[in-house]
Structure 1
Amino acid sequence: MESTEQSKKDMIDLCRSLYANDKDSLNVIEEFERDYRPEKAIWWFTRDIFLYRIINKALRLQDIDQLYRMRYFITHLHAQLVERHRKQLQEGSFCGNILTVYRGIVVTEFEFAPLKNAVPGQYMSIPTFLATSDLSSKASSFAVTSGGNSGMLGILFKIEVDVKRCQTEFADITRDSSEPDECEVLFSMGSIFKIVSVNQDKQNLWNIHVKCTGEEDLDLKGLKDSLQKDIIQVNPLFSFARLTEKMGKYSEAVKYYTMTSNDPVVRSNYEDLSAVYNNMAGCFYNMGDMQSTLEHANSSINLLLTKYPDHPDLVSSYLHLGLVHYKKLEYLKALSIFKEAVRIQLKYPKTYPARLASCYNNIGLIYDEQKHYKDALGMYQECLAIRTVVQPENHPDVAGLYNNIAQVYQSQLDHQKALDYFRKAHEIKLQTLSPNHIDLALSYQNLAMSLRFNGQYPEFCKEMKNAYHIFSKNTSILALSETQKMRAFLMKAERDPRFQSEN
């Protein structure tokens, strides 16, 4: 366990560096260093000072370095909010089962675009701590006034909360606030809401009605849980590495995993060190670095084999190792590795059943490459049977499976069925991935190629452009390679009348 004083020092040093030229803020930082107590976390957060600005900006931008350095205060703030939430539910502090609160915000047109196109039933996640008011007039007044600037839009959120079922921690913080005259309800980071409606009123104010009913998207909930729990676990470096990996920032995750692997406590435990190497292998695989994937997967496997030849964690490392050989077109070797993973996993049927699904999926990939299409579809059906039980229907792994089924149909020249499954996969990824996630770019690319095979050329060009825009913002080996190829292709397509819209 790291020193509390060290985590506090990390935070204070960051705050001083960010406000080095602001004397007033430096004075408040000194006051915080001298007087702060964990039971006053909400009070400090509600002061219009450095804490609120730094933390919510870091959460909004997913700045993992700053979040890590602010972990000292975030831990206390979340813990106090959880305790207030528990106590208020026990005491029946909320009138009725439905709580309605409001929040006015101002965003750029670019930031608003995803919300503008949102449809009822879609889920949205707000990464920051969210302060709300029970007065719609106050919230809308802020949004209307601040949204009058050129290029800025005012948004009023109406939030309905099923008090007993909502999975997000929230509490009435009026008594804890630095401004007790204002009635505020504070939601913890990563709150998940279901969109009811989006419309614009006569004042050009956008009204977004959302609900929190406990029916949250499970993948967004997974990210919320990572934000909340990983920050405060025993080994914060490993936790932040996992969080960064979940966000698709693989090179940053490798940095944290490397630091973790040098921790003497981690190195003294073969299972922990093996887990770090295995996760690094996954990151390198997603970055397109097959050699590093191979090295780290083997390091993970060798650590486990020396202690326990049938250790259940071997399955995950074998999956990474097999995928490398699959990418190298060494199908028989990959198939042998995946079958060994199945053998081990079947010994632990109740432990990580999703891993068995991954084994079947990967064996299906090999059968597909060997043109054994019937066998491939059989493996994919075995995989789907497991995933529909242990994972929600819109889980990213289900999207990957639909994508693989689509590839089989495409190989069989059944392009319409292929397009149907690519669309199923793409709809899930639109719901569950961040807008610039590289997997979303790959999904746009697959959808585009299927549209081309079906003769839908303008639509093909549109989806290829969507893929290109995401690839161009990523720095992985895969993204750089795809960006160059797609730029050349799109330039060529601009001169081909088949790819032009009929409008």
Structure 2
Amino acid sequence: MATSHPLPEPNDGNLETFSVVWLDAAINDTKFINAQRRIGKSIHYLKTFTKVDDCEKYLKSMHEGDRIVLIDGVTEELDEVVVLVLSIQDKSRIQRILDQPLALDIFDTRANQGKSSTELNGQFVHSQLLINCLMRMRSTPNDKADFVSFLKKAYAHNESNLTIVREFERDYTPNQALHWYTRPCFLFQILNKALRVQNVDVLYLIRFFIRDVGRQLEEYKLISPITLYRYQLMSKEELDALRNSVGQLISVNSFFSTSRDRDIAFFLLSAAGPSNNDCQKVIFEIHADPRLESIKAFADITAFSAIQNEEEVLMTLGSIFRLVSIRRHDLGWVIQMRLCSENDHDLKPIIDKIKYDVYGDDNARSNAGTYGHVLSLMGKYSEAEKYFNLIRSELCPDDKKLGACYQNLAILAAKKGNHDKSLELEQKALAIKREKLGSDDPHVADVLCNMSGSYYEKGDYKQALETCNNALAIYKRTLGEDDLKIAGCYLNMGSIHEKIGKNIEALEYFHKALSIQEKHLPSDHYSLGQSHQNIGMLQYLLGHSEVSLEHFKKALQTYEKSCASQDINFAYTYYGMGCVYISKKMFSEALMYSTKARDIFLKQLPPSHPSVFAVERNIQHIKRFTK
């Protein structure tokens, strides 16, 4: 019952980094239309406007790092305009690589970095998980056909691109991936922009190409140490972030193009215009030793390149580097980096544990379902739902995997605050799993445990406790007394007892859960953060404000290593800290944390959710005392 991927529709956005924006009140006159047609033969994306407000709105909506040529109010000498634009487009592939903004994530090992550390380390973890998932993807017969269909829609009005699309459709094979990657066409642009802005739909469509490039790099990888160079234009903000991260780890979330030739890099540095407040010139000097264990592959791709004599060495997507130093040069900056092993960072245990949770077997392939799981971990709930539904649509009605699909969709519905829908989906999952696996299977208990959470959120604490006890009994019979799933039940039971006013019993359950988790999980696993968060709230309710803050801070430290900055867990911890500071009459701190909680709640939950009301009530309370 397999179906091809439901293609994302190419919307009004630009799939690539480069574009032309043309503003003129008479843009629809014949002479302008002819000029647009000439430009459109080479420029992949041309956007026209007759009104300043519309143009300004569009420019503000563009992704940071997009490159544009803006033509404003030219009424004469259209031939010169066309020639200028086409000359900008007709740069060598090397120069277009240099102008591409880099997709970088920083892993900051320094403690007490607050929100900045949260954003950096959470992004680092989730970018690595997303890349790993894309590289593991199974091949399907429809992979190339789906991508070609998407391209034909995207470039329906660009005949020069359609010609290349038809050639790709006819000729592409996996052993030509590097040739197509280096070819001066839209493919390189689409892939790198999708990676930079995390356009997960386009990345899913192009997954086969990502995998093919990675396999060729592995096949032809270099085996001796080498020093590589890359000239790059960077924004001042990007450079400042790197200057503040010397000694830290950097993940490059694209295939990273470099050169063996130092002279070329420094020639480009000298030939470029002067740096300014917005744009800085840098040279990356990279030391790479492929003899290290678990090092990502890199290969000299000159023999495969569509453009010869570049001495190009391409590094695998998601390569990790140690930022050794940054120093001034007469003409710009020199950034020294060292390619690192995948074992050479403190986040490896947490990434490995999440991989195990997603895949089980370290060699397992990924599919739309595991892609959805990773997107859910990244906080992209709507996107994750799409891919779980894709898997569901491909399964036969009696397939036992349907139970897992319904369960995943139920978890997403609960995360989005729709607990009625979550329970409806859990009931479907429960019926399938009981039929296929029997009533005493741990997977049945998984569903019951999740259902308990939804009953809890709906305020049906009696049903929540009964359902959780049923799950706990199955786990103890099948898994023993010390399994992580037992810890999950204890967490649920602690929350239920807290709601019915039995705070001492609740605290005991939370400590039982934490004790089991600490035996099995790496110290930065997000589940430990959830336990500290729960204990923190109980200690607050019991009047132990200092102990409460201690646990809330431990929760934040854990989330900073393992969660995206907008993860709902941050919101609940910030909310709890706001409550503690209100009780201590420290209203400045209370307002800061309550506002952080509200901002995340409003992004992740419907406006009518009780958590939104609770934090808004706290903020109003604080403001009354600070007038």
> What TM-score results when the alignment is normalised by the length of structure 1?
0.80
The answer to whether the 8 Å contact 1:226/1:243 transfers is: no
Q: State the partner residue of 1:17.
A: 153
1:148 maps onto 2:275 in alignment: yes
Picking from 296, 314, 324, the partner of 1:186 is: 314
1:48 maps onto 2:184 in alignment: yes
**3-state secondary structure, aligned to 1:419:** helix
The answer to whether the 8 Å contact 1:11/1:71 transfers is: no
Task: Check 1:140–1:222 CA distance in 2 against 1; reply closer, same or farther (3 A cut).
Answer: farther
**3-state secondary structure, aligned to 1:186:** strand
Name the CA distance, whole Å, in 1 between partners of 2:584 and 2:329. Answer: 41
The answer to whether the 8 Å contact 1:119/1:197 transfers is: yes
Higher mean displacement: 247-256 or 149-158: 149-158
Task: Check 1:205–1:39 CA distance in 2 against 1; reply closer, same or farther (3 A cut).
Answer: same
Higher mean displacement: 274-283 or 244-253: 244-253
Offset at 1:287?
Answer: 0.3
Picking from 420, 423, 427, the partner of 1:291 is: 420
1:317 maps onto 2:447 in alignment: yes
Q: Which amino acid aligns with 2:317?
A: M
Q: State the partner residue of 2:69.
A: none
Task: Check 1:355–1:120 CA distance in 2 against 1; reply closer, same or farther (3 A cut).
Answer: farther
Q: Which amino acid aligns with 1:328?
A: K
Higher mean displacement: 462-471 or 109-118: 109-118
Q: State the partner residue of 2:256.
A: 130
Name the CA distance, whole Å, in 2 between partners of 1:248 and 1:83. Answer: 35
Task: Check 1:338–1:178 CA distance in 2 against 1; reply closer, same or farther (3 A cut).
Answer: same
Name the CA distance, whole Å, in 2 between partners of 1:453 and 1:202. Answer: 56
**3-state secondary structure, aligned to 2:442:** coil
Task: Check 1:229–1:347 CA distance in 2 against 1; reply closer, same or farther (3 A cut).
Answer: closer
Higher mean displacement: 452-461 or 306-315: 452-461
Higher mean displacement: 382-391 or 6-15: 382-391
Picking from 380, 384, 388, the partner of 1:257 is: 388
The answer to whether the 8 Å contact 1:19/1:26 transfers is: yes
Match runs of 1:81-96 below 5 Å: 81-85=217-221, 88=222, 93-95=223-225
Task: Check 1:257–1:14 CA distance in 2 against 1; reply closer, same or farther (3 A cut).
Answer: same
Name the CA distance, whole Å, in 2 between partners of 1:111 and 1:226. Answer: 34
Offset at 1:212?
Answer: 2.2
Name the CA distance, whole Å, in 2 between partners of 1:443 and 1:113. Answer: 30
- Number of residue equivalences: 484
Name the CA distance, whole Å, in 1 between partners of 2:382 and 2:197. Answer: 17
Offset at 1:324?
Answer: 1.0
Picking from 409, 418, 443, the partner of 1:280 is: 409
Offset at 1:67?
Answer: 1.6
Picking from 54, 75, 91, the partner of 2:211 is: 75
**Higher-helix-fraction structure:** 1
Task: Check 1:438–1:76 CA distance in 2 against 1; reply closer, same or farther (3 A cut).
Answer: same
**3-state secondary structure, aligned to 2:479:** coil
Picking from 429, 432, 436, the partner of 2:559 is: 429
Offset at 1:276?
Answer: 0.3
Q: Deviations over 1:176-200 (max 9, x none)?
A: 4444534444343344456667788
**3-state secondary structure, aligned to 2:441:** coil
Name the CA distance, whole Å, in 1 between partners of 2:315 and 2:246. Answer: 23
Q: Which amino acid aligns with 1:173?
A: D
Q: Which amino acid aligns with 2:544?
A: D
Q: Which one has a bigger Cα radius of gyration?
A: 2
Q: Which amino acid aligns with 1:387?
A: Q
Higher mean displacement: 43-52 or 443-452: 443-452
1:239 maps onto 2:365 in alignment: no
The answer to whether the 8 Å contact 1:294/1:324 transfers is: yes
Name the CA distance, whole Å, in 1 between partners of 2:269 and 2:600. Answer: 31
**3-state secondary structure, aligned to 2:344:** coil
Q: State the partner residue of 2:193.
A: 57
Higher mean displacement: 289-298 or 70-79: 70-79
Offset at 1:497?
Answer: 4.4
Q: Deviations over 1:111-142 (max 9, x none)?
A: 67876765855x55443333344567766776
Task: Check 1:65–1:370 CA distance in 2 against 1; reply closer, same or farther (3 A cut).
Answer: same
Q: Deviations over 1:47-100 (max 9, x none)?
A: 332222212222222222112222332232233334445xx5xxxx123xxx66
Offset at 1:228?
Answer: 12
Higher mean displacement: 209-218 or 289-298: 209-218
Q: Which amino acid aligns with 2:297?
A: F
Offset at 1:372?
Answer: 3.9
The answer to whether the 8 Å contact 2:243/2:326 transfers is: yes
Name the CA distance, whole Å, in 2 between partners of 1:405 and 1:141. Answer: 59
Q: State the partner residue of 1:391.
A: 521
**3-state secondary structure, aligned to 1:477:** coil
Name the CA distance, whole Å, in 2 between partners of 1:469 and 1:155. Answer: 36
Name the CA distance, whole Å, in 2 between partners of 1:200 and 1:457. Answer: 45
Offset at 1:477?
Answer: 1.7
The answer to whether the 8 Å contact 1:190/1:224 transfers is: no
Q: State the partner residue of 2:379.
A: 248
Q: Which amino acid aligns with 1:268?
A: D
Q: Deviations over 1:298-321 (max 9, x none)?
A: 111111112311122123211210
1:29 maps onto 2:165 in alignment: yes
The answer to whether the 8 Å contact 2:395/2:402 transfers is: no
Q: Which amino acid aligns with 2:545?
A: H
1:477 maps onto 2:613 in alignment: no
The answer to whether the 8 Å contact 1:2/1:235 transfers is: no
Q: State the partner residue of 2:472.
A: 342
Q: Deviations over 1:230-274 (max 9, x none)?
A: 9x9878432332232222111222222223222244x3322x000
1:169 maps onto 2:296 in alignment: yes
The answer to whether the 8 Å contact 1:364/1:375 transfers is: yes
The answer to whether the 8 Å contact 2:568/2:604 transfers is: no
Q: State the partner residue of 1:501.
A: none
**3-state secondary structure, aligned to 1:322:** helix
Offset at 1:157?
Answer: 5.3
Name the CA distance, whole Å, in 2 between partners of 1:209 and 1:196. Answer: 5
Name the CA distance, whole Å, in 1 between partners of 2:604 and 2:231. Answer: 35
**3-state secondary structure, aligned to 2:309:** coil
The answer to whether the 8 Å contact 1:106/1:146 transfers is: no
> What TM-score results when the alignment is normalised by the length of structure 2?
0.66
**3-state secondary structure, aligned to 1:434:** coil
The answer to whether the 8 Å contact 2:448/2:467 transfers is: yes
Offset at 1:350?
Answer: 8.8
Offset at 1:329?
Answer: 2.9
The answer to whether the 8 Å contact 1:157/1:209 transfers is: yes
**3-state secondary structure, aligned to 1:425:** helix
**3-state secondary structure, aligned to 1:131:** strand
What are the ranges of 5 or more consecutive residues in structure 1 without an aligned counterpart?
Answer: 499-503
RMSD of the alignment, in Å?
A: 4.1
Picking from 431, 447, 457, the partner of 1:327 is: 457
Offset at 1:360?
Answer: 2.2
**3-state secondary structure, aligned to 1:288:** coil
Higher mean displacement: 184-193 or 419-428: 184-193
Question: Higher relative CO (CA 8 A, sep ≥ 6), structure 1 or 2?
Answer: 2
1:413 maps onto 2:540 in alignment: no
